């Protein structure tokens, strides 16, 4: 037997390269689930697949946006719920304090409790999102406390100032649709998003109304206390409006989440139909190719060994 010629060596290498290339292609199909790996495989299918993959990436971003908004909306709602209870307590103090059957000592006690409500309200106004750390009620100025206080020598709050703005972030949740869960702490412009604690559209001005109630309880001015009760009703109505609006936004977010899930599922099906591979068949072909490659290696090794030994003889 003669030593293997260059012609045989070239043919052998070509066969190895062909088998290796086929094995790589099949392995990629198994790992990606796609039969189209390059534009040359099927230009039309590749274009459609790339377009669908881009759509999938967009849906994934929408889904992340929705999830983030839902988390913030829940935090906003929890704060509003606490604020609603706080205003209800203040209204009780106004009702009882304005009664002619209430002693001044009792009014003084109510005034002290109202001061506690003011301090609690400030804490609520400066609530941070537990996930992002952003302040919930500063508008788009969410990196610092939106409300600052002035206190007396005893640490009692005597004034509250808003340092945020009235702007809100609009976040895309689907193609052409944006939503916002932001609520500015105050808005005295008469337009735009209503403020939670101060809002000129609704007449809400919670901190000033609470401070007025405290002072009027301390002075025993029952007529002014009655006015305070009327003003607190505006605050309560405004909080109720905000709670209802938050619920509506959360419902829309849930609907958008369902829509995005359905869109993602449709795109996944489209990609599978256009470029998907039959995994079972591909695995069989991959196993056959790997077997053929091993057989070719063994066969070539035997032939080359025999040829060299024969030549040495």
Q: Residue 278 — very low, low, confident or very high, per pLDDT cuts 50/70/90?
A: very low
What is the rounded average pLDDT of the residues 237-265? Answer: 96
Q: What tens digit of pLDDT does each residue of 155-202 get?
A: 999 999 999 999 999 999 999 999 999 999 999 999 999 999 999 999
Residue of 133, 223, 226, 241 lying closest to 187 (CA atoms):
241
Rounded-to-integer distance, Cα 209 and Cα 228, Å? 6
CATH superfamily of 55-267: f41 fragment of flagellin, N-terminal domain (1.20.1330.10)
Q: Which pLDDT value is given to residue 104?
A: 97
Q: Which residue has the higher pLDDT, 122 or 274?
A: 122
Q: What tens digit of pLDDT does each residue of 27-47 get?
A: 555 455 555 555 555 566 556
Q: Which residue has the higher pLDDT, 127 or 310?
A: 127
Of 13-17, 28-32, 46-50, the least confident: 28-32
DSSP string, the chain: -PPPPHHHHHHHHHHHHHHHHHHHHHHHHHHH-BS--STTT-HHHHHHHHHHHHHHHHHHHHHHHHHHHHHHHHHHHHHHHHHHHHHHHHHHHHHHHTSTT--HHHHHHHHHHHHHHHHHHHHHHT-B-TTT--BTTSTT--SS-SEEEEE-TTS-EEEEEE-S-S----EEEETTEEE-----SEE-SSSSSPPSSEETTTTEEHHHHHHHHHHHHHHT-HHHHHHHHHHHHHHHHHHHHHHHHHHHHHHHHHHHHHHHHHHHHHHHHHHHHHHB--HHHHHHHHHHHHHHHHHHHHHHHHHHHHHHHHHH-
Rounded-to-integer distance, Cα 268 and Cα 263, Å? 9
What is the rounded average pLDDT of the residues 110-130? Answer: 97
Q: What tens digit of pLDDT does each residue of 63-91 get?
A: 999 999 999 999 999 999 999 999 999 99
Domain ranges of the chain: 6-33+280-312, 55-267
Q: Residue 279 — very low, low, confident or very high, per pLDDT cuts 50/70/90?
A: very low
Q: Residue 293 — very low, low, confident or very high, per pLDDT cuts 50/70/90?
A: low
What mean pLDDT is reported for the chain?
84
Q: What tens digit of pLDDT does each residue of 192-219 get?
A: 999 999 999 999 999 999 999 999 999 9
CA dihedral 259, 263, 268, 273 (to 10 degrees): 130
């Amino acid at each position: 037997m003669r030593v293997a010629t260059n012609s045989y060596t070239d043919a052998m290498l070509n066969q190895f390269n062909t088998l290796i290339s086929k094995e790589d292609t099949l392995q990629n199909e198994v790992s990606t689930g796609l039969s189209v790996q390059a534009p040359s495989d099927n230009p039309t299918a590749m274009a459609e697949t790339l377009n669908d993959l881009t759509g999938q990436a967009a849906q994934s971003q929408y889904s992340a946006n929705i999830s983030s908004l839902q988390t913030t909306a829940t935090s906003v709602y929890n704060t509003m719920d606490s604020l609603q209870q706080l205003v209800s307590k203040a209204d009780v103090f106004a009702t009882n304090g304005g009664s002619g059957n209430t002693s001044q000592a009792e009014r003084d006690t109510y005034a002290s409790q109202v001061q506690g409500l003011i301090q609690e309200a400030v804490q609520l106004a400066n609530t941070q999102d537990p996930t992002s750390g952003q302040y919930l009620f500063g508008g788009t100025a969410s990196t610092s406390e939106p409300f600052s206080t002035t206190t007396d020598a005893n640490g009692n709050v005597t004034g509250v100032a808003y340092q945020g703005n009235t702007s809100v972030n609009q976040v895309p949740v689907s193609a052409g649709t944006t939503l916002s869960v932001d609520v500015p702490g105050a808005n005295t412009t008469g337009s735009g998003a209503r403020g939670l604690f101060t809002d000129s559209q609704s007449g809400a001005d919670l901190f000033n109304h609470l401070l007025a109630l405290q002072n009027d309880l301390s002075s025993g001015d029952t007529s002014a206390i009655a006015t305070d009760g009327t003003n607190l009703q505006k605050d309560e109505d405004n909080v109720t409006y905000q709670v209802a609006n938050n619920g509506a936004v959360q419902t829309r977010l849930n609907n958008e989440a369902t829509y995005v899930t359905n869109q993602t599922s449709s795109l996944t099906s489209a990609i599978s139909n256009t470029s998907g591979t039959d995994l079972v068949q591909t695995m069989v072909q991959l196993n056959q190719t790997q077997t053929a490659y091993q057989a070719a290696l063994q066969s070539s090794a035997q032939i080359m060994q025999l040829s060299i030994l024969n030549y040495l003889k």
